[in-house]
Amino acid sequence: MTVPDPGPDDAVPAWLAAHARPVGVPDDDPEGDDGVTAWVRAVAGGRVVALGPTVAGTRELAQLAGRVLGGLVAQPGVGTLALQTPESATTALDDHVRRGTGSASAVLDLLGSWSWNTREVLDVVRRLAEDPRPVRVAGVDPRHPAAAVRVVGRFLRTAAPDVLPAVADTLADLALGRGDETARVAVDRVQARLDQDAPALMAATSPERYAEAVRHAGFLARAAELVATPRERADAVAGRLMAEAVLEALDAAAPDGRVVLWAHADHVVARDDPPSLGAHLRERLGDGYRALLLTAGTGTTRAIRRRRLFGPARTPSTHRLGAPRADALESVLLPDGTRDHVLDLRVPDVPPAVAAWADATLPRRSVGDEVSTAAPATAVVPCRPGAELDAIAVVRTVHPAWAR
């Protein structure tokens, strides 16, 4: 019997079902590639490959990101992992991965975020540190520059103590994420002194300590720009500053070097209003920037509850995601009986109906490491898959990450 071609209403589900690759090895093709392996191979030409979980505090999405990361770092040229973690604090994580200094659990404590201090992330860090060709790890978040303030402050106390009185209070506020235009003025003053008196400063300390101070002063410059930005423009400026950090990591790599970026989905998508981190990278790199969205159908996440009167809770708690809306991206990708899978949106010869679906705006999950009345665990944001993403990995059910 001849099976009729799907009608217009069935064309999109039929195409999605035909092109979705299971996250696990297909039962009917044990020699075939699973979805992760196939997508890792498909992005071999990407200069920056981004992994963006839509929900920050789940076990399965973090484990899946770690699995994709493992496949990517095994490829030629991938020598840097960029994380949405504080730029300055992440230098300790880099030292651990590449040089074995400190312990994995101790350096994760320094990042100051419970969502990067989970058992799932710890497992990823341990695997990276055991790799005979460990990658460089770089933070790209300009917030929380306390470690940079300490590094620069120690250096100035030794090599240029006359500078400290004029900038100490402002830098102390900046370490706490507070400040205004005076923070930029103070950091400019520090950087000017480092530039003008380089030989004398190196003689008073060492070339290595001087280079470290210059690097951390650069972190302070981005942090100061962000705190001086009006709130209504902060998201746009943060996206640009994080993109600058990723591109610096790419420039520091070998000529054919590649970077893997792991950040929340809201940052890695190529969204234009306001321009996201991913939008800046897409503008700079074109098809050299590839983004994989990792999302969840239903389940439970872990997050800090931010209370209206008392501020954030001290420890994260569990929160139900609820079922996705019928029109949500997750519902379209997870009809009844569908397994966890990866869908590559950049395959050739996409039918017009599918292209129209991918260009339409539909809701998707967006849950960070904090939840509140204004941003609950059921929160969604608009998404145009074909314009913002290159691929989607979807997990039917998730559970809370293991907070350490």
Asked if 392 contacts 295 with a C-beta cutoff of 8 angstroms, the reply is: yes
Residues 289 and 393 occupy one common structural domain: yes
Point out the domain boundary residue: 232, 263, 286. 232
In order, the DSSP letters of 220-287 are HHHHHHHHTS-GGGHHHHHHHHHHHHHHHHHHHS-TT-EEEEE--HHHHS--BTTBPHHHHHHHHHGG
Residue 198 lies in a domain: yes
Residues 223 and 364 occupy one common structural domain: no
Residues 112 and 190 occupy one common structural domain: no
Domain range for residue 171? 146-232
Residues 203 and 268 occupy one common structural domain: no
Gap between the terminal Cα atoms of the chain: 58
Domain tally, the chain: 2
Residue 200 lies in a domain: yes
Residues 394 and 340 occupy one common structural domain: yes
Interatomic CA distance for residues 333 and 396, integer angstroms = 10
**Residues making up the chain, counted from first to last:** 404
Residue 53 lies in a domain: yes
Residues 299 and 313 occupy one common structural domain: yes
Residue 290 CB-density burial (10 A; 0-12 exposed, 13-18 middle, 19+ buried): buried
Point out the domain boundary residue: 178, 201, 232. 232
Interatomic CA distance for residues 276 and 311, integer angstroms = 27
Would you give per-residue pLDDT tens digits along the chain (404 residues)? 344 444 446 789 999 999 999 997 655 555 567 899 999 999 999 999 999 999 999 999 999 999 999 999 999 999 999 999 999 999 999 999 999 999 999 999 999 999 999 999 999 999 999 999 889 999 999 999 999 999 999 999 999 999 999 999 999 999 999 999 999 999 999 999 999 999 999 999 999 999 999 999 999 999 999 999 999 999 999 999 999 999 999 999 988 999 999 999 999 999 998 999 999 999 999 999 999 999 999 999 999 998 877 788 889 999 999 999 999 999 999 988 789 999 999 998 899 999 999 999 999 999 999 999 999 999 999 999 999 999 999 999 999 999 88
- Who's near 189: CB < 8 A, 6+ residues apart? 163, 166, 167
Residues 260 and 137 occupy one common structural domain: yes
Residues 121 and 168 occupy one common structural domain: no
